[in-house]
Structure 1
Amino acid sequence: MTSGSDQTEPASRKPRGGPGLRIGRPFGIPVYVTSSWLLVAAVITLLYGGIVQARLALGPVSYLLAFVFAILLYASVLVHELAHSVVARGFGLPVRRIVLHVLGGVSEIGREAPTPGREFWIAFVGPLFSLLVAAGAFGLYLMADPFGVPGELLFQLWVANLLVGVFNLLPGLPLDGGRLLRAGVWKVTGRPFAGTVAAAWGGRVLALGVVALPLVEAWRSGGLNPWGTVWALVLGGFMWMGATEALRTARVRERIPGLRARELARPAVAVVSDTPLAEAQRRAGAAEADAIVVTDRQGTPLSIVHPAAAEAIAEGRREWVPVSDVARALTEHSLVPVGLEGEELLEALAGHPLPEYLVVDGEGAVQGVLRAGDVNAAMAGEARR
C-alpha cells in the first residue's frame, strides 16, 4: 500500500466536495473513504480468510477475522496520513482532507512546504509512525499466543505496517521517500524544482521496477502469479502517474514567481456605456488594445466587454448595439492591484474566480484587463491567444 502527502498547486482548484464517504474529522481534518476501499476489503477478506482458516481452523469466523484485519490495516494508513497532516498544519500549511483509497491514502496539503527542512519532516513523520505502529504491534505479538486470534491479528498488523513504512521510504515520488529525496536535493541545490525532477525520475524507475518484479519471478520460477502481476501493474501505474503529475506540477510552480499582474494585463480602452460596439472596436483597434472597459459618464468602470458575446453580434448590427449589451458587470472582487505578483496574485484570483479582472493602480486608474485564461496559459508555459 502506498501513502503520502500530496502538495497541490495553487492554480488547480480542486473540488471542495468529498470524494467518498466522510468518516470523521480527527484534529479537525476531514477523512474520506472512497468506494474502492470496499473492493480492497473484499479481496483481503477472501484471500486472507483462507489463510486464517488454514492456520487456525475457525470456520466462517476466519473471514470475519480477515475483515477486521482489513479495517485495522486502513486504520494504520489513517494514522500514517494524520501524522503528515498534523505536522503540516503545525508548520502553518492548510490541509484540505485525507482520502483513503484502493492503494492506501493521501493527505491533500494545500500549499508547498516553504523550506527543505519542513518538507523533510512532513514526509518523514508518516513512515516513522508506521514503523512505530509496527514496533508496538510486534511487541504485543511476542506476548500473545501465535496460534490465537489476537496473535494472528497482531502478526499481520506489524508485518503490514513494516511493509508500508519501508516501502514508503523508497526514494521516488509519489512515495514519502521521494519527498525526502526532493528535500535533500532542494537543500543542496537551493532549487525545489531540481529536487522534484530527481525524485520524480526516481519514482518512474521504481514504478518500472515494481512492474518488472513479477515478470522476473515468473522467469525464475517458470510460472506467472496472476494476482501478483495485476497488483504490480496497478501499483506501478499509480506510481508512474504520480511521479509524472509531480513533475508537471513542479514545472507549473517554477513559473509562479514570474506571474505579474502588470505584465499579464491586456491593454484596454475605456468607452461610455451607450457607445456603439462598432465604434468601441474601432477605438480599440486604433489604440492597439485587446480589451474594452465600459464606464459611466464620470469615468467609473462598470463592466468589461465579453469578447465572445461581441463576436456573436453580426457586423452589420454592431453600429446599433451599445457595448453595455455585450459586457460583464464588474463587482468588488473584479479589481486586482497592478503590483500583485506570484503567489499573492494567484491567491487573490483563486479567492474569487472570474473570467476577467480589472487591473488598477493605487489611485484606481485602469491599467488593463487580466483574463483568467492568460494566467493559466502563462502557468502552462503557453503563449496567450
Structure 2
Amino acid sequence: MATLTFMGAVTGVTGSMHLLETQGSRVLLDCGLYQGGREEEAHNEDPFPFAVKSIDAVVLSHAHLDHSGRLPLLVKDGYRGPIYMTSATLDLIEVLLKDAASLQARDVEWENKRRRRAGKVELLPLYTLDDVEDVLSLCQGLEYGARIAVTDEVDLTLRDAGHILGSSIVELFTNESGRQRKLVFSGDLGNSQAALLRDPSVINEANVVLMESTYGDREHRSMQETLDEFENVITTASQNGGNILIPSFAVGRTQEIIFRLGELYQKGKLPQQLVCLDSPMAIAVTEIYHRYQNVYNQEDKQAIEGHSQTAEPSQKSLHSFLPTLRYTVSTEESMAVNRIASGAIIIAGSGMCNGGRIRHHLKHNLWRSQSHVVF
C-alpha cells in the first residue's frame, strides 16, 4: 500500500519535501530550503530523514528555493537518480541555485574572517557551485501533459500551476498489484488574475490531493483595484518629479510588473521615460521568460505580439513591449542609477528589502519627499 510522509513545509511554508512510497518505489516531491529567521534556516543543516540513496526519483513542482533549494545537498549526500521538472523550471533553477551557492560562499567567507580573528573553527557553505552542476546533470525537463514512467510502479504527469513560469501541479499514478491510484500534489498555485501565466489547470479527479494553503484564509481585493492604485502612484510621481522604487522578487513578480508597465506604456499612460531593471538575476530570469512565451496566457501573449515595437516575431518580448526598459547589470551601471534624481522607475531586489541593490536605491531616494516606494 502506498504511503505519503510529510517531511517539510508542515508547520511553516518553507522547506517543501514529501516522500511517496510504494511497495517497490520511493519518489521525493520537492526538496526545498527552509527560509526565514535563523531558527528556521538552521534546519537546512539537518540530515535528511531517509536514506538518500534509496530514493528512486525526485519530482520538482517549481523553481523557488523553498521547493528546490536543498537539491544540491541531496546530491552531495549521494543521490544519483533522475530529477523531473518542466523545461522552464530547469532553466530557472540553474539561475536560482547558482545564485544561492554564490551567496552562501560570500556569507561564509565574511563570517570566517570574523572567526579567524577570534580563533574559532571556520564554517563551510551548505553547498557549492560544483554541487549545483551535479544537480543539473541529473535534471530532466518535461512538457506539460506528457506522461512518463518514473519507476516500474509510478507514472508522472505535470500540469500548469500558474504560479511562476514552469510551475507544475504534479500528478502521480501508482500501480501496485493491479490497484491503480492517483495522487495530486498542487505545488504552489497561481490565481486567475495574474499577468502572463495561464490559469492553474483543473484536475477533475484524484484519490489523494496534497494542496498548499498559504493564502487559503485570505480575501484578496480585485486586480483592477491594485492596478488603479499603481497607475495613480505613477501619475503622482510624474507630477511631483520623484522616482518610483519597486522592491521586487526576481522570479514572477518582476516580469508581471514589467508587463503591467508595458500595458500603461502602450496606452500612453506611462509618463516616465526610464524604467530600470537593476537586478542581474531578475534580468536573467526575464530572458528565460522570453524563451517560453508559448506558455503565456493567450490574451497577454497577443498583447505583446501586437504592440511590441519590432518587426521580428522572435524578438517580440517584454523588453520590446516596454521600450523604455533598461537593464543595469554592472555595479557601475547601478551606481549611475543612484544619480537619477527624478522621472525614473527603478525595479530591484530583494523584494523584502533585506538585501540586494534596492537598499542602495532606498538610501539615495527615501530622503526625498517626492520619492515613492511600491510594495
Would you call these one fold, judging by a TM-score over 0.5? no
Q: What TM-score do the two structures reach when normalised by structure 2?
A: 0.26
Give TM-score scaled by structure 1 length. Answer: 0.26
Q: Which structure shows the bigger proportion of residues in strand conformation?
A: 2
Which has the higher Rg, Structure 1 or Structure 2?
1
